[in-house]
Amino acid sequence: MQRGENQYAMKEIPLVHFDVSPEKFEQYLAAQNEETGEQRKSVDDVIVEDICKEVAILKDLSHPNIIRYYNSFADSCNVYIIMELLDGYSLGDFILSQSEKRHRVKETTVWSIFVQLCAALRYLHVEKRIVHRDLAPGNVLIDEEFNLKLADFGLAKRWGTQSASVMKSFVGTILYSCPEIVQSQPYTEKADIWSLGCIIYELITFTQPFSAGNPLTVAKKIVDGEYEPIDESLYSPLLI
């Protein structure tokens, strides 16, 4: 979309994508009502309100390696999020392209991506007290010079010093989830660091470290720490 001379990206999220069971919604609604004293009966209303609250938090983020969020609104069918428009592609697309060409990613490129992701996560975790919780190659955007921006905070959650700094909800993509999440145990911002390791492993090997034919097998591999070692002849010992 365009306003004046400025161009923006607009993400459309159909409300039908949120498959909320009646039991889960009643529990969630009861918790919301206890906090606010308000009576809200519509599943869609609660979903829209929560997404808009998330975007309001994300609007405060300003970092060269994090996409800018500007606004959000909804109609009867969709939620719309207005964000920075980037000329590039996802890290997932880059990994797939290199794998198909059988081009090993240069170590300097791997380090560049790693350092930029570390900078973004440090800003989120230390300065803003936000955990991404859905860190995956598809949510990392890069350009031709490998400048990187972390995107898609649809599952992001702020936690404060006055509240418990652990979260138990099972969110994100299981292939990049840490053992605590898989086992429904409390976890912290270090869940993002685990996901970062999975991303770098995939960037080096073109495979996810804990891939398998079904989610239960993936979960067992994650908990057991079972993955193929990286060929030590390909990259430096420090990177490995």
- Dihedrals phi, psi of 72, to nearest 5 degrees: -150, 150
Report the chain's terminal Cα–Cα distance, integer Å.
42
Task: Note down the domain range covering 172.
Answer: 89-224
Arithmetic mean of pLDDT, 128-157: 84
**What is the per-residue pLDDT across 39-54, written as a single tens digit (0 to 9) for each?**
555 666 766 777 777 7
Q: Which residue, of 22, 49, 84, is where some domain finishes?
A: 84
Based on the domain organization, do 74 and 112 belong to the same domain?
Answer: no
**Rounded distance between C-alpha atoms, residue 240 and residue 81, angstroms:** 38
Total of domains in the chain = 2
Q: Please report, for the domain that includes residue 14, its CATH number.
A: 3.30.200.20
Residue 86 exposed, middle or buried by CB count within 10 Å (0-12, 13-18, 19+): middle
Q: Using an 8 Å Cβ cutoff, are 33 and 41 in contact? A: no
In the predicted structure, residue 115 carries a pLDDT above the cut 50: yes
* Residue 232 amino acid letter: E
Based on the domain organization, do 47 and 156 belong to the same domain?
Answer: no
Q: Which residue, of 66, 84, 102, is where some domain finishes?
A: 84
- Of the listed ranges 29-33, 175-179, 203-207, the one predicted with least confidence: 29-33
* Residues annotated catalytic, as ranges: 134
Average pLDDT of the chain, as a whole number: 82
Name the pTM for this structure.
0.79
Place 172 in a pLDDT band, splitting at 50, 70 and 90. low
